[in-house]
Amino acid sequence: MFMRVYFTSPPAEQRLAGARQENADWLKRFQQLRSLSLTGQEWLAEATRLREAILRQLQWEERELYPALDKFLLSSRPTRDMFYEHEGIRRYLPEMEEALASPERDRRWERFSLNLIHLLEHHIEHEERGLYPVYERLLEGGKGAS
């Protein structure tokens, strides 16, 4: 597992730079979608792209990031907590279209924001301050070993 992570992954700063940028963009894109919806503009295609980007990122983390961290940390506790957050994100993500399309947009959007967007903010903060730096050190340690 470590050999694959060390030798087939792009450098940590490149791999996680994309993930960090996507994380920052998601929150902006939610606000853009809200604005498009309120002004009667087309938002459905952008909502689909955003949902797909989020799901792709979650899959990458679960397939690549979390297993490497579990082995490195000798514990699955930190990643297990993050996985539970992924489950919540997957559960609330389908509510996005309803929150944007509903005649009761303000109330629906408020509930959606409290559920999904708040969870995403919390999740991103944990990744940025905890798991991503550890993963970078893990990958950087692999460079020194080669």
The DSSP output letter for 76 is S
Residue in this structure with the two tokens 């005649």, named with its chain if needed? 103
Read off the pLDDT of each residue in 134-142 and give the average, rounded to a whole number: 81
Query: Mean of the per-residue pLDDT values for the chain?
Result: 85
The pTM of this model reads 0.82
What pLDDT digit, counting tens, does each position of 1-31 carry? 333 443 444 455 566 888 889 988 999 999 9
Domain count of the fold of the chain: 1
Determine the Cα–Cα distance for residues 68 and 78; give it in Å rounded to an integer: 12
Instruction: Provide the residue range defining the domain that includes 68.
Output: 2-145
